Amino acid sequence: QVQLVESGGGLVQAGGSLRLSCTASGRTFSAYSMGWFRQSPGKEREFVAGIRWASGSRAYAEAVKGRFTISRDSAKNTVYLQMSSLKIEDTAVYYCAAGSAGWAPADFRSWGQGTQVTVSS
């Protein structure tokens, strides 16, 4: 009964920026943390960035540290991923998720449908 919907994906040139949004809706929403994951063909779904809902503390994968910023708007039940200095290797389907204490995919119980991000040269 909790739905997560991503938006903001698209095609962008290398070095450019893109901002993803994920909005939660439904009768109830309870999450310790929110996160962004991505998956490319032939690869496992990997953690990109996460945020603790109450404290706002953040975590980032080494591959995106310094380039991506995760934030949340509690009143809107929305989490954002600001992506800058995009590289071709950032191309993937990006998913937002709501979960518990860890940053592994298994720690997240609710998932969005994904949004495609394609970075071109």
Residue 29 phi, psi dihedral angles, 5° rounding: -145, 120
Give the model's confidence band at 30: pLDDT under 50 very low, under 70 low, under 90 confident, else very high.
low
**Do strands 78-83 and 92-99 pair parallel, antiparallel, or not at all (unpaired)?**
unpaired
- Report whether pLDDT(27) > 60: no
At 62-82, the pLDDT tens digits run 999 999 999 999 888 899 999
Residue 84 phi, psi dihedral angles, 5° rounding: -130, 170
- Report whether pLDDT(109) > 90: no
- Report whether pLDDT(2) > 80: no
What's the CA gap between 70 and 21, in Å, rounded? Answer: 10
- Report whether pLDDT(32) > 90: no
